[in-house]
């Protein structure tokens, strides 16, 4: 097949951006050691930014977003992968400036791909995607910092989103008591169904921004939103508590004070899932396929490629709940 379907984002003459599913050719793809027929992808906030013309994510258009891809190797120039191997690609430059998983084919360096763990189907892997991988990395980093279930309540901000919802489920599976924070009051029952023990409103987390310290409340936290909410979480950690930070939907800046760090000994842990060494990603995927495996169907929305423009508008408007897996057959 020399042609395939893909979502193409193009800049118009007036500087706006349009999204349409169209035919592309294999010759449009960049060079790479692996040609992969994509079976499933997933929709992330970064994909929506790329699909909106955000130059901080994607520099040149026309472009096909999709930072996640699960598929089958159709051509390989390296010995590590053979035709027919099922593989997962997440992060690195996929979907940013390299044509991504919202096309039926991608061509990438072999160093970006891992073979599908036996405990996960391609669909299950893409239900996790970058969001699930990031959630797992956050929980892993908290545990490496010494957090344990007996320490107390663990907060998850942005809990209805992709990272947040997986984090709630994973923490509950591991025996933690979980407080889920959200700005979507109508999703409280959904969050409880995932395992949340308490529901915290966004307004509650925004109180006390002007204060250098807040009442000790959380043993640990997974923060997916950033901004002043992140620092309010830091100010509310119990002594020696930790927060894993991985998102910025509430902003990239916050009003900071050293007091929580020097009076309570708390830890602010940064989490990146994009440029991690492949061996670290592979180890975490193995964990997600075995002892940390989750039933993600309660989170799942499945859409065809043609429905992606509507789903992108929904995630940009803050209306997305759970995980969207994209079917590319």
Other CB atoms within 10 Å distance of the CB of residue 266: 24
Which residue in 155, 178, 184 sits closest to 322, CA to CA? 184
pLDDT in tens, 172-227: 999 999 999 999 889 999 999 999 999 999 999 999 988 999 999 999 999 999 99
- Strand (E) or helix (H) holding 49: helix 45-50
Quick check: do 3-116+296-327 and 130-270 share a fold?
Answer: no
Alpha-carbon distances of 3 from 8, 25, 29, 107, 303, rounded to whole Å: 14, 4, 11, 14, 22
| CA distance linking residue 246 with residue 164, whole number of Å | 10
Report the chain's terminal Cα–Cα distance, integer Å: 14
As a whole-number percent, the residues of the chain with pLDDT over 90 amount to 88
The pair of three-digit structure tokens given for residue 256, joined into one six-digit string: 């900071």
3-11/177-182 β-pairing: unpaired
Domain formed by 130-270, architecture:
3-Layer(aba) Sandwich (3.40)
pLDDT in tens, 237-295: 999 999 999 988 777 888 888 999 999 999 999 999 999 999 999 999 999 999 999 99
Lowest-pLDDT range, 137-146, 274-283, 311-320?
311-320
CATH topology of domain 3-116+296-327: Quinone Oxidoreductase; Chain A, domain 1 (3.90.180)
The domain spans of the chain are 3-116+296-327, 130-270
pLDDT in tens, 14-37: 888 999 999 999 999 999 999 999
């Amino acid at each position: 097949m020399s042609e395939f379907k893909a979502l193409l984002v193009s800049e118009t003459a007036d500087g706006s951006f349009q999204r349409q599913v169209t035919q592309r050719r294999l010759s449009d793809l960049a060079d790479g050691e692996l040609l992969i027929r994509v079976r499933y992808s997933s929709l992330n906030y970064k994909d929506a930014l790329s699909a909106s013309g955000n130059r901080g994510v994607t520099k040149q258009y026309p472009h096909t977003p999709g930072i996640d891809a699960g598929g089958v190797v159709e051509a390989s120039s390296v010995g590590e992968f053979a035709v027919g191997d099922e593989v997962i690609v997440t992060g690195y430059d996929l979907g940013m400036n390299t044509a991504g998983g919202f096309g039926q084919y991608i061509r990438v360096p072999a160093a970006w791909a891992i073979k599908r763990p036996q405990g996960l189907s391609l669909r299950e892997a893409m239900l996790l995607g970058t969001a699930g991988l990031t959630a797992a990395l956050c929980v892993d980093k908290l545990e490496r910092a010494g957090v344990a279930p007996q320490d107390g309540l663990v907060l998850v901000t942005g809990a209805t989103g992709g990272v947040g919802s997986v984090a709630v489920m994973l923490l509950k599976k591991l025996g933690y008591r979980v407080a889920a924070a959200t700005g979507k009051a109508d999703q409280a029952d959904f969050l409880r169904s995932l395992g949340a023990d308490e529901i915290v409103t966004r307004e509650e987390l925004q109180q006390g921004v002007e204060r250098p310290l807040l009442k000790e409340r959380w043993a640990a936290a997974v923060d997916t939103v950033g901004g002043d909410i992140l620092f309010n979480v830091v100010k509310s950690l119990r002594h020696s508590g930790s927060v894993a930070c991985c998102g910025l939907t509430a902003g990239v800046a916050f009003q900071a004070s050293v007091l929580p760090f020097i009076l309570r000994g708390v830890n602010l842990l940064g989490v990146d899932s994009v440029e991690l060494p492949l061996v670290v990603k592979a180890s975490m995927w193995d964990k997600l396929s075995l002892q940390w495996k989750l039933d993600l169907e309660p989170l799942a929305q499945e859409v065809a490629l043609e429905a992606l423009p509507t789903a992108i508008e929904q995630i940009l408007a803050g209306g997305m709940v759970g995980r969207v897996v994209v079917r590319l057959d």
